[in-house]
Every structure is written in structure tokens, then in C-alpha cells.
Chain A
Amino acid sequence: MTARTEHQRPRVGVVKLASCDGCQLTLLDLEDQLLPILGRFDLIEFPEASSLRSHGPYDILLVEGSVSTAEQAAEVVDLRSRTRMLVTIGACATSGGIQALRNAADEPAWRASVYPEPQFISSLATATPIAEHVVVDAELRGCPIAPDQLLELLTALRVGRRPQLPVESVCQACKRAGNICVLVSDGIPCLGPVTQAGCGALCPAYGRGCYACFGPREEANVPSFHGWLSRDRAPGEADRLFAGFTGWAPNFREPATRAVVAIEEADDA
């Protein structure tokens, strides 16, 4: 009855660019579901977990990480050409990740300060999301992605329906969970109102503010919220809140850039 039947198992690949491996590890973290999934999907490329390699073609390719070197920029185009459905997983792939903050900075200077022999480094001046290089069919947000969303994506792909990936705010999930708002009741800066849900409103549940792992939600009214947060804070502090793991996402980019530039200036001083 489902859109796909047993005999045609989708060929799946899992690859990474510049990232921490956490999002692809999430697949292995689906412990209880892992073997059932491997029975229904043909995992033909997953170097972190298997010595079997394949160049595809892939029905589904999960891509982790951001494009940070010239090789990766070429690789992602090549991967796209061998993939039917390309899914970016995690903040690095969907918005560039925290390393994308260098896009707002003087990258050669960063290089020189981290490496004794910067001339040996081959790295692009920018770290950019996959969608800035090739067409992306679907994305899983998060730093890291949520295991239940990964499972929902795989289930939806198999059943042949649209996956349920809510675009609601973290606040909505937070209130549903019955948490007390840390922003209103404690004045703790929390990006929940402008951040897409998916994490289960973890940080407020653990008594701290949301730092936007899942990135800006649709209609994120950053100027208004930034203004409100700036009322009782030192200049620039509100900017830094947005300069996180999804700081390069279009809606956060402006304050995040201001934060990086301010830090650079303080550093030079």
C-alpha cells in the first residue's frame, strides 16, 4: 500500500564536509531503529561506519557539513549530479554552521593566528551552506539534528508522504511542554521566539536560554526582538546572542556580522 515496496530499497548515502560528525552519528544513535532501517534502506555509502564505498547513484543522500574548501565546492556539485534527492542535515549544511562566522571576519588573519605556517592552508575564505552551491530537496535543521526528525524523514520517504517537520517557534513547543518562560520570568536571554522548533525546547527545560540550534523560523522578526533584548544590555551583547551555530542564516546574519566585527576590532585594539 505504501509508495515504495520491499523489493526496491532506496539507495542511501551519508557524506560529510566541514563539520563535527554529530549529525551523521545521529543515524547510529537511532539504536532501536537502526537495524530495521538498514533492512529497508540500502546504505551504500557511509564512510564513518562502513568500509564499503559507492559512487552512487543515490536515491537519497544525507549531506552533513558546510562547504569550506575548493575541493568540497567541487565535490558537492558532483554529488548532486549523482543524487535523486539531496537532504542537508544539520546547522553546518543548512546555514553554514558556526564556522561560517568567519565569512564576516578577516579569514587570512584567522588562519595566521591559528596556524604557524598559514601558507600551507588550503581553505576557502568562507564556509557556506550547501544550498548556496546546489539545489537542495529537503533539510533537517539542528546542531545536532533531532533523532526523531531523522526517523520521521526516513519514514515519510519510505511511506511516500510529506515529512512532518514543524516550522513553529521553540516557544510553542516550550509552552506545550509546560515550561516556565526563562526570558519573561528570569530575564535570561532566550532566542526561542525567533527560532524554529525541533529540539523539544531543550534549553528552557534545562533552565537556560535557547541559542538557536535549529536556526531562524519563518517570519522570524529579528529586528523587533533584537531591539527588545538590547533594552537592558550593554551595546553589542544582543548581537552576540545571534552569532551562534546558525548565525550565518539570512535572518540572523546582520546582528551576527556586527558581533564578529566588534570582536575583531576589540582583538586588534
Chain B
Amino acid sequence: MVTERFLPRADLDRLIAALAESGRTVIGPVVRDGAVAYAPIAAAADLPVGWTDVQAPGSYRLQRGGDRMFDIGPPAQGLKRYTFPSRSPLTVAERDADGGVRFTPAIPDPPRLAFLGVRACEIAGLLVQDRVLAEGPFVDEDYRARRDAALVVAVQCTRAGSTCFCASMGTGPEVTGGHDIVLTELDDGYVAASGSVEGDRILARLGLEAATAAQQADSAAGVASARTAQGRAVATEGLRDRLMDQLDSPRWAEIADRCLACSNCTMVCPTCFCTSVGMESDLDGATTKLERTWDSCFTGDFARVAGGNFRPRRQDRYRQWLTHKFATWVDQFGTSGCVGCGRCITWCPVGIDVREELSIIAPPYEAAPLTELPVIAGSPGAYVPATIRSVTPETADTSTLVIEPPDDALLATRPGQFVMVEQPGFPPLPISVSRVRDGALWLTIRAAGPATAAAIALPPGAQLGLRGPLGRGWPIERAVGRDVVIVAGGIGLAPVRPLIDAVLRDRRSFGRLVLAYGARTPADRLYVEELGAWPKLDLEVLEIVDRAGPDWLGRVGIVTQLLDQRDWRDRAASAFVVGPERMMQATVATLAAGGIPAERTFVSLERHMECGIGLCGHCQMGPFFICRDGPVFAVSELGDLFGREGI
């Protein structure tokens, strides 16, 4: 039982001084430009004394009321901008005259801060971002350093705004953890308790009286009133499943009629973490600063892939945001992505209210299980220079780079994994590894845009930056003792070549091996020599092209025609499929008809992969971050997300 002390109102300055003593900058709520915002404070006088706010959908107004210091709702923006800045440097990439490259990752240099007047919902926001950025498979070092360097002095709410719904999200108004000190404001002072060793040390130094029973009772009553005062609740029971069952709700289109896709909700949300990598290079592109900035799933080019935008409509973007926040977040991080602060309601320029939308889209029923994710290391700025040994043209627009990484880590790349490739002057590229051999990575790259074109234009001896290996590769173990069907479309032959190398290396562990390969034209076929050589190694190669001239004597048609007369029922086969999504759908259907179950049919999804480790949010599909949880998935894992529009 934590001892509750009493901090007289006049002594608040002593607390602020004590916080500042250890060289910390104290960040608290202040009145600025007609609202309350977090900013550095020097004394209690800087706090919004005698101010209160009226928040409603699309509206925020300050007004005079009482003379308390913390009688205000959630400030305009949360503490996110201190723990996860809206812009932060990643690395500086440089290329010298003879083609070498150098990377200088930004070193985290967190300011020592003390947050004062932090609400329960605010703390919940910090804890959720801890899960995402510091406790996931990958750790954002800058974020962790900033969190470690910050002190949290919470103030429990004794009133609730009309947009507050922390009670229904289970995050407040009581402060139950994540704080160093917690205060509850009374007219003449604060009931104070510590939540950490440092918090206890600070309170002890102030030499405060113990709080009286009456003071403790008042404080408890104040917080209780804040709970009861909260308006419309969100029914969280089974919300995850309820929402996922409504992916086809007509309501999405209705919301889209009102939604401006302006991204304000995501910017003010204390848990939203999506980012994009921006570049600033000198006129010659020799030195490039990579910078990470807040981005939003509501923005046009956020979901842009090489082929276009997979969330072109506002309704797709709103659905992505809401289902992520309240449903798939749970799958990804074992917690809801919403803390009930109500900012997305107040700061929506057209007053869209998530509580109302949720109640209409997903009326209540029972609860859902959670999933956990393993923890491993990694950081979005950590590129290592690697030297190009050779560049071999495969087709008119595709070449294979053989690259020597500086250490063995990258050589441990497993079949189906990919690496991030960074060239100074260009945005980073996710590239599937097409072979690991003789101490080198083979990357087969198609000139699909300026960055890829520049990559395959590099001469031997030039360097580029690599980060990886990344992603979940092909589960070869799931195929041991079985027939193996490998289906590749177009450039998709590259990510399956390491798989082919692997099964041929251990040929006796597998049954029949079949490669079905579809290319656009005979001239677009990759690895032509190997296609001829593999049959000698007892790998049946079936080829087909979309269109051909009279000199082509092979098959013409689509890849499914290679398989639609086959039946695998007698020999439990495993299938590995990669190519354009549409091609994979057709193939998966054909294989299913041939008797290969979804559990043993594996696809590699080519999505927009920005940071490579699922921290930037670009690659999301339902509950998955493709570049972290994939790119390889069993079709059974994807369920009806596979091939759905606007996911």
C-alpha cells in the first residue's frame, strides 16, 4: 500500500523545482493560442490556473472556471511529440567519388524531461507506444532512450469532458501504473503518492505530511465523479471480432462522405506511430539525410505500391484506421490501440465521433483471444556498406547484383527473406534475396522506377547499403517428405530461387519437385540457363508465357493452365507461390482444386515495405505487418483478407 501524502497548493512550486533539480526540463500544460498544450514550464504560475476547456466533436473552447491548475481535459496534442518526435533523423548516407558508401546513423540523444500533469489516458498512450516501439520484435532505440530519460508526474482527473471515454477503454480516470508520482487535485492542494523509487525519493525530499482520511476520501470521490460523468461509452466486449466481421459494412461508405481524410485524427492520436522516410540530398545526391516523419494511413501516397494505391478510397483508409485502432492492433500488440482520450473526436474538422461510428458499425457481443509476438533486435537506420561483385543482366529491364556484405549476418539470410537496400540519393528499397552463395547475396532487381534503375546501373566495385536479413522466409520444414509445387510469376522467380537451391541441396528429403513458371513473353524469362539445367537435377520445370511470337514453341497461356489438370491428393504436397496478387489468387484456387490445402499453400505478398521491420506502418494488411510478419504467409493465415479490396 503506497502511502498518500498531502502537497499544499503553495508547495507545487517546490515539487516543480525538485523535478528541475536533477537537470530535467519540466513539461506541463500551458495555455497557448486558445487551447491547452504541453510546453516547458518554470513554475506553477505557467499552468492553466483558473482555466477549463469545453471539448466537443470538432470543437475546443477555453473558458474561465474555478481556480484549479489541472481542471482541464486532454491537451491539444499528447506527449507523443516528446517521446516520438514528428521528425527525427535516421542516418546520413554518403557516396564518395570511387563508388564507396558510408552511413552515419543518428545516435539517440534524449533530453531529460519530467512530464507534469499527465492524465491516465496519456500514460496509457505511452504504455501502448512502449508495446509498439520498444517491446515488439524490433526496438526503436531513439524512442526507448527518450522514454527511459523521462519522468512522469500524473494527475488523476476529477472531471470528464464530453469527448472522454477512458473509462470504457479501461485506461482511466484512475492512474494505476506507468507513473513516478501521481497527484489528485483538491481545492487547497494535492493528494500525492509515488509510483517508482525515484518518485518516492522526490516526494520524500519535500517532507510532506501524510494525507488525512478526509483528503483521501475527497480525492477518491473526485476521481469517481470523473468516471461517472463520462458520456457515451464504447462497448469493448469482443470489439475486435465484431469489427473484423464488419469489413463489408455499408457504413464505411457513409463515413467516407463526411471524412476529409485530412489525417488530423492520426496526428493527435497518442498511439498512432506510422511514419515515412523522407530524404534531403545535396544537388549531386552525394550526401543524403534520411529523416523519419509522422505519416498517416489517410494520406494518398501512404499506401502507394509500385502498381498504384491499394487504399484509393477514403472509405478504405477510414476502415484501415478504425479497424487497426480497435481490432487488428490487438492481434499485433495484445492491446487496443485506443486509450479513450477523445482527441480524434475533438480535433476532427468535421466532428466525426468514433464512439458513435463503433456503436453503429459493430454492435456488442463476446470477447476475443490475444496473440503475442517474439522479441528480436533491429533499428531502421542501421545500414551496412556492401560491395557489388558483379552485375548480370537477366532481361531487358532486370539484372542480378552479386553483393558482398561486410559480415556474415546477411549471409545467414534464409530462403524467402528480403533485405533493405539504400543508395544515397534514393529512398530505401525492399528487395527479396534471390540466392546466397560464395559469401555473397544475389539480388535480382527489375528497373521498375528511378531507384531500382539506378541500383542495377551501378558498376562492380560500387557500394550500397544493406539492412537485414528481414521478414519470415519459406517454411521449407513444412514440405519435408512431401511433393513440392513451386509456382512463380514474372519477377517472382527471384524469391523462390533460394528455395529451389535449398530443396535441390537436400533432394532426397522431398518427393516430386515441380516448378511452374509464368512469364510475360519468352524474352522476359529469368534464369534461362538454370530453367534448362534444373530438370537434370530432378526438378520438373513447366513454363508458360502470356504471349509469344511464332518462333516460341513452348506453352502460351496463364500459369494455372500448367496445373489445372494435376491432382495432388494421393501425395500430400506443399505449395510455394509468388507473383502478382491476382496471379496468386488464381493459382491458389487451382491448387486447392488439385487437393493442396490452404495450410500447406504458402504465398509471398509483395507490399509497400518502407522500414522493413513493421515500425512505419506502411505494409499493413489486416492484423499483419507484411515486412515483419511476412512476406511469406500460409493462405490459411490470411483467410478472407487474401485478395480483398482496399485492405
Say whether A224 contacts B279, CB under 8 Å.
no
CB of B618 to closest CB in A, whole Å? 14
Q: When the two chains form the complex, which single residue of B35, B279, B283 contacts A185, counting CB atoms closer than 8 Å?
A: B35
Interface string of B15-42 (1 = CB under 8 A from A): 0000000000000000011110100000
Say whether B263 contacts A224, CB under 8 Å.
no
Instruction: Name the interface residues of A170-211: CB closer than 8 Å to any CB of B.
Output: 171-172, 175-187, 192-194, 207
A154 within 8 A of B: yes
| Complex Cα gap A170–B207 (Å) | 50
Which B residues lie within 8 Å of A154 (CB)? 283
Cβ-closest chain A residue relative to B288: A159
| Complex Cα gap A158–B281 (Å) | 11
Instruction: Name the interface residues of B535-574: CB closer than 8 Å to any CB of A.
Output: none
| Complex Cα gap A221–B263 (Å) | 13
Say whether A164 contacts B268, CB under 8 Å.
no
Q: When the two chains form the complex, which single residue of B86, B296, B454 contacts A3, counting CB atoms closer than 8 Å?
A: B454
Q: When the two chains form the complex, which single residue of B59, B61, B300, B425 contacts A168, counting CB atoms closer than 8 Å?
A: B300
| Complex Cα gap A192–B257 (Å) | 18
Say whether B77 contacts A228, CB under 8 Å.
no
Of the listed stretches A32-40, A128-136, A234-242, A260-268, name the one at the interface; the rest are far from the partner chain: A32-40
| Complex Cα gap A13–B335 (Å) | 57
Beyond A171-B264, A180-B37, A185-B33, is A1–B450 a contact (Cβ under 8 Å)?
Answer: no
Beyond A37-B283, A158-B285, A225-B260, is A184–B349 a contact (Cβ under 8 Å)?
Answer: yes
Q: When the two chains form the complex, which single residue of A1, A218, A223 contacts B462, counting CB atoms closer than 8 Å?
A: A1
Say whether B458 contacts A1, CB under 8 Å.
yes
Q: When the two chains form the complex, which single residue of A172, A182, A223 contacts B263, counting CB atoms closer than 8 Å?
A: A172
Q: When the two chains form the complex, which single residue of B300, B351, B450, B451 contacts A228, counting CB atoms closer than 8 Å?
A: B351
B7 within 8 A of A: no
How many A-B pairs have beta carbons closer than 8 Å: the answer is 159
Cβ-closest chain A residue relative to B459: A1
Interface string of A155-169 (1 = CB under 8 A from B): 100111110101111
Beyond A176-B86, A185-B35, A224-B257, is A160–B283 a contact (Cβ under 8 Å)?
Answer: no
Interface string of B383-426 (1 = CB under 8 A from A): 00000000000000000000000000000000000000000111
Say whether A180 contacts B314, CB under 8 Å.
no
B99 within 8 A of A: yes
Beyond A3-B450, A184-B58, is A219–B314 a contact (Cβ under 8 Å)?
Answer: yes
Cβ-closest chain A residue relative to B57: A184
| Complex Cα gap A193–B258 (Å) | 12
CB of B78 to closest CB in A, whole Å? 11
| Complex Cα gap A216–B615 (Å) | 30
Which B residues lie within 8 Å of A194 (CB)? 260, 262
Beyond A167-B300, A192-B262, is A33–B283 a contact (Cβ under 8 Å)?
Answer: yes
A217 within 8 A of B: yes
Beyond A176-B267, A221-B260, is A160–B33 a contact (Cβ under 8 Å)?
Answer: no
Say whether B35 contacts A180, CB under 8 Å.
yes
Interface size for B (C-beta < 8 A) is: 59
The residue in B285, B294, B454 that gathers the most chain A C-beta atoms within 10 A of its C-beta is B285
| Complex Cα gap A107–B301 (Å) | 39
CB of B458 to closest CB in A, whole Å? 7
Which A residues lie within 8 Å of B35 (CB)? 180-181, 185
B236 within 8 A of A: no
Interface string of B295-328 (1 = CB under 8 A from A): 1100111000000000000100000000000000
B437 within 8 A of A: no
Cβ-closest chain B residue relative to A5: B284
Say whether B264 contacts A186, CB under 8 Å.
no
Say whether B99 contacts A1, CB under 8 Å.
yes
Say whether B314 contacts A2, CB under 8 Å.
no
Which B residues lie within 8 Å of A220 (CB)? 260
Which B residues lie within 8 Å of A186 (CB)? 34
CB of B27 to closest CB in A, whole Å? 12
Which A residues lie within 8 Å of B86 (CB)? 175-178
| Complex Cα gap A209–B601 (Å) | 55
CB of A115 to closest CB in B, whole Å? 42
| Complex Cα gap A183–B299 (Å) | 20
Say whether B77 contacts A175, CB under 8 Å.
yes
Say whether A224 contacts B258, CB under 8 Å.
yes
Instruction: Name the interface residues of B71-128: CB closer than 8 Å to any CB of A.
Output: 76-77, 81, 86-87, 95, 99
Q: Which 3 A-B pairs have the closest CB atoms?
A: A175-B267, A159-B285, A193-B262
Could you list 14 A-B pairs, sorted by A, with CB under 8 Å?
A2-B285, A36-B283, A40-B283, A161-B454, A169-B299, A171-B264, A172-B295, A175-B263, A176-B267, A176-B294, A180-B35, A184-B349, A207-B33, A219-B314
User: Which residues from chain B sit less than 8 Å from chain A, CB to CB?
Assistant: 32-35, 37, 58-62, 76-77, 81, 86-87, 95, 99, 257-264, 267-268, 278-279, 281-285, 293-296, 299-301, 314, 346-347, 349-351, 424-427, 449-451, 453-454, 457-458, 462
User: Which residues from chain A sit less than 8 Å from chain B, CB to CB?
Assistant: 1-3, 33, 36-37, 40, 154-155, 158-162, 164, 166-169, 171-172, 175-187, 192-194, 207, 217-221, 223-225, 228
